[in-house]
Chain A
Amino acid sequence: MLGRTLREVSAALKQGQVTPTELCQRCLSLIRKTKFLNAYITVSEEVALKQAEESEKRYKKGHSLGDLDGIPVAVKDNFSTSGIETTCASNMLKGYVPPYNATVVQKLLDQGALLMGKTNLDEFAMGSGSTDGIFGPVKNPWSYSKQYREKRKQNSHSENEDSNWLITGGSSGGSAAAVSAFTCFAALGSDTGGSTRNPAAHCGVVGLKPSYGLVSRHGLIPLVNSMDVPGILTRCVDDAATVLGILAGHDPKDSTTIQDPVKPFTLPSLTDVSKLCIGIPKEYLTPELSSEVQSLWSRAANLFESEGAKVIEVSLPHTSYSIMCYHVLCTSEVASNMARFDGLEYGHRCDNDVSTEAMYAATRREGFNDVVRGRILSGNFFLLRENYENYFVKAQKVRRLIANDFVNVFNSGVDVLLTPTTLSEAVPYTEFIKEDNRTRSAQDDIFTQAVNMAGLPAVSVPMALSSQGLPIGLQFIGRAFCDQQLLTVAKWFEKQVQFPVIQLQELMDDCSSVFENEKLASVSVK
């Protein structure tokens, strides 16, 4: 049951083949079994069971709230959840219990979803590995998959099996791992520079970054106000579309959400791609790109072409500057957004009471890790009066050039862009920590951050396993507010490539029957 898609489980719930409480218990049990992954910071067991009870009552009366009623979901720990600790994996907010729900969380709860818990991340969502939070790094479930382990045995690695575990990518690594390990059916992440798509690619799940302005940021602890978007992680594209349909829409509490009416939608099943034009940005073919990802990218392009789509090479000329531009804008906005943490109204407070400034300084020293402090200091450097024009405003101008690159490409008839999501498959943690956070972010965000600067929708879809048995995902980028079209193309692609299911049998002794091909008799999905 846990391996099913959201739609299938929803149908099963409606038909009484499983109850919300059973589903909840199974997920909680799996969360306990997969605790070593460190995907969850807080497991809200009591809350979830209570919600399951209420959902069950609704189903008994035949009044289910919708597709998400009774479905276990997880939320990244930088979304405010009323009554549930929200830490952002930082000492600054350890013990902080928000008095309100983020709008997207509220929408999920209003639809009857069961909140399993808050997932782990890089501290304040700064990082590309989910390794830099105070609760420790998140382990990629694929490290323990049959697919990966068999390949390692073949290459006769004799080391201790667990010592070389792989990162999930970041910063929404906890959410990606939670979905990948079947502990929930959907999870919320956040995406500022690729933080949803990067771990999605490394964990073999679908990671959607909606258009900026489509989904409310109210309650998402902000990093970069002009680029942050709540992200959606699911095991298939249809599920992502279902969740997006519920989360999208104007929020009076977030004035950066557009007012155009948005309705939940079902994705059509494309059979004919001959009217589609796929763009392949040539500047994304960088020397650092691994040959495996590159060859999968080519295969994907050929796939579209062989099915009749028009596949053309396009140019995004300012690509090589986008990561620097992102770096300046990101650190500058971070410097501003982190200023709210002063220990007075919420969060950590030091013992120093000599003066406000001394108190703020000590509080922030104790509360923030090196990465956060580094970004604040860099950001303030770029915002100094003598540097403002040359760095910050300059970066804003380059941002416009980058956004225009995309506009030009889409105006020339391209419907969707196809690019890699990451440079390679997930790497071992011991490898990853050889470089510092800033360097890694600059390397790993290379294909994903330009999309945030232009505010476009993008989705990472897992394509195939690497020669090591690890997932590799590709990214589709769509026109602004054409999320539905983007997901339609992604769905077609997903169906063509038939990405394998992760095999975690060794961990799930008594759940192993779940992963074999069950055919649920008479489950009719509309």
Chain B
Amino acid sequence: MWARAVRLRAAARGRRGFTSKADSQGSGRVTGELIQHLERLSLVDFGSQEAVARLEKAIAFADRLRAVNTDGVEPMESVLEDRCLYLRSDNVVEGSCAEELLQNSHRVVEEYFVAPPGNISWSKLDEKQPFSHR
């Protein structure tokens, strides 16, 4: 497992140069693979080695929750869980403000927001256009 992790890191290093060290702060769990995965999911990049280190610290911090015994405890999603949520009736009471809303966008054509093509996955492009990290 260790060897595999090392190979992954070496591969990642070629592309990005960010890896994580297994140190007392984190458990070395932030592998190159994880970095790519998180960047892809979040569509934001780490940007630097410090950011990776900060994630490790954040994980180590969160790990301390394991010490709490939560057997039989239900997760709490909202402090208002004992009340009924209010839903409005399904009637149109406002709207017709398309022009106003379109004004906030940088790229519109008539009443459409213009988006670039959506069927190109990001990671493939990455190989051609490496991120310029600050």
Contacts and interface: CB of A to CB of B under 8 A. Distances in A.
Interface of A: 96-97, 99, 212-213, 226, 250, 252, 255-259, 318, 321, 324-325, 327-328, 331, 335, 342-347, 349, 352-361, 364-365, 368, 370, 373-374, 376-378, 380-382, 384, 390-391, 393-401, 403, 436, 438-439, 442, 453-455, 480
Contact of A345 (B39, B67, B79, B113): B113
A513 to B, nearest CB: 46
A394 B85 contact: no
Given A97-B103, A442-B61, 10 more contacts: A213-B79, A226-B78, A335-B42, A345-B105, A346-B104, A349-B105, A355-B121, A364-B44, A378-B55, A381-B55
14 contacts: A226-B77, A252-B88, A255-B86, A257-B86, A325-B65, A344-B105, A345-B104, A345-B105, A355-B122, A356-B115, A365-B45, A370-B47, A374-B58, A394-B68
Q: Which 10 A-B pairs have the closest CB atoms?
A: A455-B79, A396-B75, A355-B120, A400-B76, A357-B122, A397-B70, A346-B104, A349-B106, A397-B73, A99-B100
A256 B80 CA distance: 8
B59 interface: yes
A358 B120 contact: yes
Given A226-B79, A396-B77, A381 B38 contact: yes
A390 B70 CA distance: 11
> Interface SS of chain B: helix, strand, loop or mixed?
loop
Nearest to B85: A255
A380 B42 contact: yes
Interface of B: 34, 37-39, 41-47, 51, 54-55, 57-59, 61-62, 64-68, 70, 73-80, 83, 85-88, 97, 100-101, 103-107, 113, 115-122, 125, 129, 131
A398 B76 CA distance: 8
A453 B119 CA distance: 40
B51 A370 contact: yes
Nearest to B87: A255
> Interface SS of chain A: helix, strand, loop or mixed?
helix
Contacts, number: 189
A250 B87 CA distance: 12
Given A212-B79, A377-B44, A455-B79, A394 B70 contact: yes
Best-surrounded residue of B42, B66, B100, B104 (most CB of chain A within 10 A): B42
Given A335-B42, A365-B44, A381-B55, A259 B68 contact: no
Contact of B59 (A99, A381, A400): A381
Nearest to A82: B100
A397 B104 contact: no
Contacts of A381: 34, 38, 55, 58-59
A298 to B, nearest CB: 30
Contacts of B107: 349
Contacts of A358: 116, 120, 122, 125, 129
A382 B62 contact: yes
Contacts of A455: 79-80
Nearest to B124: A355
B76 A252 contact: no
